[in-house]
C-alpha cells in the first residue's frame, strides 16, 4: 500500500481516511493484522494495524522487508495520446521498467497532457500493483526539438522508427554498451519527415524498427520496452 508518511521501525502514524476505509471495510483487516507499506523513499515495511477507536487506524512499521532500490534509469519519451490510451501507456511503461516518463510534444501530436498529477497518480498505482518501490516520475511536457537540443549525450535514445524497414532490432540494441537509455515513441500520427530526418541525423540516437507492420503507439511502446529488456537484460 502506498503511503505519504515516513516509514521507520516503531514510528506509528495514523492511516489516511482512504486507507482506513480500504483496510477495514474492503480488506476487512483487524487489530494486530499486518500490511506491507511503501512511500517511494524508505523501502518496503511490514506494518501492524491497531484500532485505538472504531474511527482511528494506526499503522506501526515493524520490519523492513525490502530496502529502497535505485530508481530505474530507463527514460520513456512518449508523444501524448488520446486520454484513455495515455493512462494505459503510463501504466504499461511503469510495469515494463521505465523510471522517468517524459511527454514529448511533436508536430503530429493529437493527444494532450491534461494533468501531470493524474499521470503521476497512475504511475504510483501501477507501481503499487506490480510491487515497484522506486516511484517513476512523470516530467513536464517538452517540445521534441528543445528536448534534443539540451539532451545529455551519454544517454542514448532508442528511436522507434516505423520508416526503418523490418530488420531485426536486437543487433543494434546489443551494441549499446552504456546502460543510460531513453526510448522514444511517436504519436498516433507518427513523426513528421523533418522530425525523422532530425532524429536520424543525431549520433546519440539509434533508430530501431519494430517489425514490418505499423503498430499503434501504445503497442509500439510495450513492444519496444520488451525488446530493450531482452537486449540489455533488465
Q: Which residues bind ligand SAM (CB under 6 A)?
A: 160-162, 185-186, 188, 190-191, 209-211, 213-217, 220
Residue 211: CB minimum distance to ligand SAM, A: 5
Residue 37: CB minimum distance to ligand SAM, A: 37
Which of residues 30 and 170 has its CB atom nearest to ligand SAM in the complex? Answer: 170
How far, in Å, are 35, 64, 167, 201 from residue 5 at the CA level? Answer: 15, 15, 49, 47
> Which parts of 166-216 fold into alpha helices (H)?
170-174, 193-200
Which of residues 47 and 224 has its CB atom nearest to ligand SAM in the complex? Answer: 224
> Which parts of the chain fold into alpha helices (H)?
17-20, 83-95, 116-129, 144-149, 170-174, 193-200, 217-232
Which of residues 182 and 185 has its CB atom nearest to ligand SAM in the complex? Answer: 185
Which of residues 45 and 159 has its CB atom nearest to ligand SAM in the complex? Answer: 159
Residue 137: CB minimum distance to ligand SAM, A: 22
> Which parts of 81-179 fold into alpha helices (H)?
83-95, 116-129, 144-149, 170-174
Q: Can you tell me whether residue 15 is helix, strand or coil?
A: coil
Residue 215: CB minimum distance to ligand SAM, A: 4
Amino acid at each position: 500500500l502506498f503511503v505519504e508518511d515516513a516509514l521507520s521501525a516503531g514510528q506509528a502514524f495514523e492511516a489516511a481516511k482512504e486507507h482506513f476505509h480500504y483496510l477495514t471495510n474492503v480488506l476487512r483487516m483487524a487489530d494486530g493484522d499486518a500490511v506491507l507499506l511503501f512511500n517511494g523513499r524508505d523501502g518496503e515495511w511490514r506494518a501492524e494495524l491497531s484500532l485505538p477507536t472504531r474511527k482511528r487506524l494506526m499503522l506501526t512499521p515493524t520490519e523492513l522487508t525490502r530496502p529502497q532500490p535505485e530508481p530505474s534509469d530507463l527514460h520513456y519519451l512518449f508523444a501524448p495520446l488520446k486520454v484513455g490510451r495515455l493512462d494505459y501507456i503510463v501504466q504499461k511503461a511503469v510495469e515494463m521498467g521505465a523510471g522517468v516518463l517524459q511527454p514529448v510534444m511533436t508536430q503530429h501530436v493529437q493527444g494532450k497532457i491534461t494533468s501531470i498529477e493524474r499521470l503521476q497518480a497512475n504511475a504510483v498505482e501501477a507501481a503499487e500493483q506490480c510491487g515497484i518501490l522506486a516511484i517513476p516520475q512523470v516530467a513536464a511536457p517538452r517540445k521534441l526539438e528543445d528536448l534534443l537540443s539540451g539532451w545529455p549525450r551519454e544517454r542514448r535514445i532508442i528511436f522507434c522508427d516505423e520508416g526503418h524497414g523490418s530488420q531485426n532490432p536486437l543487433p543494434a540494441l546489443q551494441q549499446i554498451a552504456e546502460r543510460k537509455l531513453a526510448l522514444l515513441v511517436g504519436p498516433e500520427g507518427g513523426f513528421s519527415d523533418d522530425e525523422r530526418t532530425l532524429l536520424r541525423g543525431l549520433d546519440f540516437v539509434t533508430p530501431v524498427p519494430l517489425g514490418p507492420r505499423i503498430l499503434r503507439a501504445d503497442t509500439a511502446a510495450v513492444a519496444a520496452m520488451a525488446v530493450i529488456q531482452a537486449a540489455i537484460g533488465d
